[in-house]
Structure 1
């Protein structure tokens, strides 16, 4: 095979990777990661191999890696942004490709309670709508507390809070099989529990959204 043919094959491979799965919204989102992975992989393959064969190999490897971790979360970010603006809620993409929604305690639950507050209900309604529109996505809900009160109180409280979120989502039509809840108490602080401000940051709910390609790789 001559160089021109190999170059053409490389272009076809990258184009196919970018278009793969575009028959559905899920496929379109995944294709973003696949296409970017293929393009980056092709460049690396050419640098490493110094020839077009290296480009082809790099594109194939990159496409596989990109498809596994890449996902276009923008539509869900836009949906959640309406009711999270000004609440301190953080929505960010993690290095592993999951979308993390971090909701602070003043939005989620009252102290020592697990009844969902109205502002949090609005956020969860938007989340449920997004999940129903994207049936391949799963969610892992993690409840956190500060260290006040000890594990005997905090672990059941954090689990009850995670369960409350799942119950709310299922009440809005989300299949329970797509949801997982866990309470970790105060074991994963993001700030010092020595101050009131730090404790407030540690009392939170995290929701991790996973695309199908990430679900087998995500830590449990």
Structure 2
């Protein structure tokens, strides 16, 4: 086996040991996630691209890995206070993100994408939270029930998601930290044959994720 391949395999082995070591400790914020991501990225980069590839891989891996192990407790507490009584569900996801599921009774009137007054305090708290935590980015996903045409609902869901990101941007969150997606009626969480089910399906989901680029050290 030639020296170059041996070197690349050695790098991969070192990265593997980094992964194993990180797996034995409970990290806070982005420390564990960044280390794991960087180690894996460096290994793959070295195998496929030599030394330069290792450096690039480490950078990409760190950005991805920054999600893992983030401590959401303070942010969850702030958002829980702002959403109290709204029916909003706040849950940590398997990928390390924090999901806010905000029901239609709070967000938008029927067939409208104008933000309701009851939604503004939630978004104002989110603006403040994101300004205080520059490592956080937000992905907004709009959903509808199945009433009406698929095309109409798809457009409505996109407009609603964009209304949310527009509000956040207008109140001080950098646009590059925001993304908006509309799913229309394609991801129901309840039975569209009942009014209660349709109400549950008309929702806005906001996913908060931590990135390693701006994470506190």
The two structures have a TM-score, normalised by structure 1, of: 0.69
Q: Report whether the alignment pairs 1:209 with 2:205.
A: no
Q: Report whether the alignment pairs 1:69 with 2:107.
A: no
Alpha carbons of 1:144 and 1:67: their partners in 2 closer, same or farther (altered >3 Å)?
closer
> Shift of the alpha carbon at 1:18?
7.3
Q: Secondary structure at the match of 2:208?
A: strand
> Shift of the alpha carbon at 1:119?
1.5
Alpha carbons of 1:67 and 1:166: their partners in 2 closer, same or farther (altered >3 Å)?
closer
Q: Secondary structure at the match of 2:125?
A: helix
Tell me which residue corresponds to 1:30: 30
CA distance in 2, matches of 1:209, 1:151: 28
Contact 2:66–2:210 (CA<8 Å) still a contact in 1? no
Post-superposition Cα deviations, 1:182-205, rounded to whole Å, max 9, x if no partner, equal: 111000100110100100000000
Q: Which runs of 4+ in 1 moved over 2 A?
A: 31-35, 64-68
Contact 2:106–2:116 (CA<8 Å) still a contact in 1? yes
Q: Secondary structure at the match of 1:119?
A: coil
Unmatched runs of 5 consecutive residues or more in structure 1? 1-12, 20-27, 38-63, 215-220
Query: What count of residue pairs does the alignment treat as equivalent?
Result: 166
Backbone CA RMSD of aligned residues? 2.6
Tell me which residue corresponds to 1:138: 137
CA distance in 2, matches of 1:132, 1:92: 21
CA distance in 1, matches of 2:26, 2:189: 37
> Shift of the alpha carbon at 1:172?
1.1
> Shift of the alpha carbon at 1:111?
0.4
Alpha carbons of 1:142 and 1:68: their partners in 2 closer, same or farther (altered >3 Å)?
closer
> Shift of the alpha carbon at 1:34?
7.3
Q: Secondary structure at the match of 1:191?
A: coil
Q: Report whether the alignment pairs 1:78 with 2:70.
A: no
Matches within 5 A, 1:86-101: 86-101=85-100
Tell me which residue corresponds to 2:117: 118
Tell me which residue corresponds to 2:183: 184
Matches within 5 A, 1:98-177: 98-177=97-176
Contact 2:137–2:178 (CA<8 Å) still a contact in 1? yes
Unmatched runs of 5 consecutive residues or more in structure 2? 1-20, 37-61
> Shift of the alpha carbon at 1:151?
1.2
The two structures have a TM-score, normalised by structure 2, of: 0.70
CA distance in 2, matches of 1:66, 1:163: 27
Post-superposition Cα deviations, 1:161-196, rounded to whole Å, max 9, x if no partner, equal: 001001110111000011000111000100110100
Alpha carbons of 1:138 and 1:34: their partners in 2 closer, same or farther (altered >3 Å)?
closer
> Shift of the alpha carbon at 1:213?
4.6
